[in-house]
C-alpha cells in the first residue's frame, strides 16, 4: 500500500484509510477485530475513528484490536462536539476538547493520538479557542498533529491566520465530505486547504454505498444495508445521483474496473489528498478497498470521469 505524507506537517499514512464508524454500531467486537486484521494485512496504516462513533465503542474496539500493532499505525480520532443546548461561555470548548482527548486516550489504550480533529466547527465559540486547546494538547505530547474536520473554507483561512499570529501548533489536516457525487468542496474548501498546506482526507468516498452499484432505482434497499438500517443516509439515492452512478459505472467498465474502485481511485488521484477514508463491515470489503488504491488514473481517465460526473 502506497504511503503519503499527511500535508507538510503530518505523518505518512496509507492512501486508503480504514474508517471505523461501523465499530460498535454495525459490527461487534469479533467482527471489528477481523476487519482491523484484514486492514493490517492489506498494508493499511491509517485508522480513523471518533469519540462519538458507537457511543465510544468504536475507539474501545479499535484500541483492543490493534493491540501490539499500535506503534505501526497512525490513529486519528475526533473530539465530540460541545452541546449546543447550553450557551457557550469562554473556555467551554477548550474544556470539551481536552476532556475528549483524555477519554479517547483511555479508550484507545495509548499515550498519544497521532491526528486529533475538532470533529465539527463550534458555531458559537471562536476558532482561536479550539486552536489554543489543540496546541496545549500538542505541547503536552498527548497529540502529535492537530487537525480540523468539516471546516468551511473561511474557517480554514481564519484558523491559519490565528495560528500564525499566536504561534500555536498549526493544523496539519482537514477531513471533508467529498466524492464523485458531492464535489462542492472543490470550489472552496480544497483550495483553502492547499493554501494552508493541510493534508486532505476525504470521507464517504462511496457515497454511503451508492457508488458501489449495489442499489437500484425503484428497488427496495438490500436488507441490512446502510440505507436499510440508517434511512438518513438514503437521501443521497436521488434520480440524478442514480443517473450519475450509471454513467460512472459505464466509464469504469470500459476501464476494466468497478464503479467503487473508480470512486476511490479518483479521490486518490486528486492533488493534496493524503488518504481516502473508507468504512468496511467485512474483511472482503477491506481487501477490495485496498485493491482500488493500486489503480492510478491517467489524464484521459480523469477527463472521462469529469465528463460523466461534472462538478
Please give the positions annotated as active site: 53
Helix (H, G, I), strand (E, B) or coil at 119: coil
Inter-residue contact 176 to 185 (CB < 8 Å) = yes
- C-alpha cell recorded at residue 53: 462513533
H-assigned helices in 196-276: 226-229, 239-254, 259-268
- C-alpha cell recorded at residue 198: 493541510
Q: Residue 282 contacts by C-beta under 8 Å, 6 or more apart in sequence?
A: 34, 35
Q: Taking Cα atoms as reference points, which of 139, 273, 250 lies closest to residue 203?
A: 273
- C-alpha cell recorded at residue 85: 443546548
Q: Where are the beta strands (DSSP E) in the chain?
A: 3-5, 12-14, 16-19, 46-48, 74-79, 113-118, 143-149, 173-177, 199-203, 276-279
The full DSSP string for 132-166 is HHHHHHHHHTSEEEEEEES--HHHHHHHHHHHHHH
Amino acid at each position: 500500500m502506497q504511503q503519503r505524507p499527511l500535508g507538510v506537517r503530518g505523518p505518512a499514512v496509507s492512501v486508503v484509510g480504514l474508517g471505523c464508524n461501523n465499530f460498535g454500531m454495525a459490527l461487534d467486537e469479533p467482527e471489528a477485530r477481523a476487519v482491523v486484521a484484514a486492514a493490517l494485512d492489506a498494508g493499511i496504516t491509517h485508522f480513523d475513528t471518533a469519540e462519538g462513533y458507537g457511543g465510544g465503542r468504536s475507539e474501545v474496539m479499535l484500541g483492543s484490536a490493534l493491540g501490539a500493532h499500535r506503534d505501526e499505525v497512525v490513529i486519528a480520532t475526533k473530539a465530540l462536539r460541545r452541546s449546543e443546548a447550553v450557551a457557550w461561555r469562554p473556555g467551554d470548548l477548550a474544556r470539551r476538547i481536552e476532556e475528549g482527548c483524555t477519554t479517547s486516550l483511555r479508550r484507545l489504550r495509548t499515550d498519544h493520538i497521532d491526528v486529533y480533529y475538532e470533529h465539527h466547527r463550534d458555531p458559537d465559540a471562536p476558532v482561536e479557542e479550539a486552536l489554543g486547546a489543540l496546541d496545549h494538547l500538542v505541547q503536552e505530547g498527548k497529540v502529535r498533529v492537530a487537525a480540523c474536520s468539516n471546516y468551511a473554507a473561511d474557517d480554514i483561512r481564519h484558523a491559519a491566520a490565528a495560528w500564525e499570529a499566536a504561534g500555536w501548533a498549526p493544523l496539519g489536516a482537514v477531513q471533508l465530505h467529498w466524492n464523485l457525487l458531492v464535489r462542492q468542496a472543490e470550489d472552496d474548501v480544497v483550495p483553502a486547504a492547499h493554501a494552508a498546506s493541510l493534508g486532505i482526507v476525504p470521507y464517504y468516498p462511496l457515497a454511503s454505498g451508492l457508488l458501489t452499484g449495489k442499489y437500484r432505482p425503484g428497488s427496495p434497499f438490500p436488507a441490512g444495508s446502510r440505507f436499510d438500517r440508517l434511512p438518513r443516509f438514503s437521501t443521497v439515492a436521488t434520480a440524478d445521483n442514480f443517473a450519475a452512478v450509471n454513467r460512472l459505472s459505464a466509464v469504469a467498465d470500459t476501464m476494466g474496473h468497478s464503479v467503487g474502485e473508480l470512486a476511490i481511485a479518483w479521490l486518490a488521484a486528486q492533488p493534496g489528498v493524503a488518504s481516502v477514508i473508507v468504512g468496511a463491515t467485512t474483511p472482503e470489503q477491506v481487501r477490495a478497498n485496498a485493491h482500488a488504491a493500486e489503480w492510478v488514473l491517467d489524464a484521459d481517465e480523469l477527463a472521462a470521469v469529469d465528463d460523466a460526473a461534472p462538478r
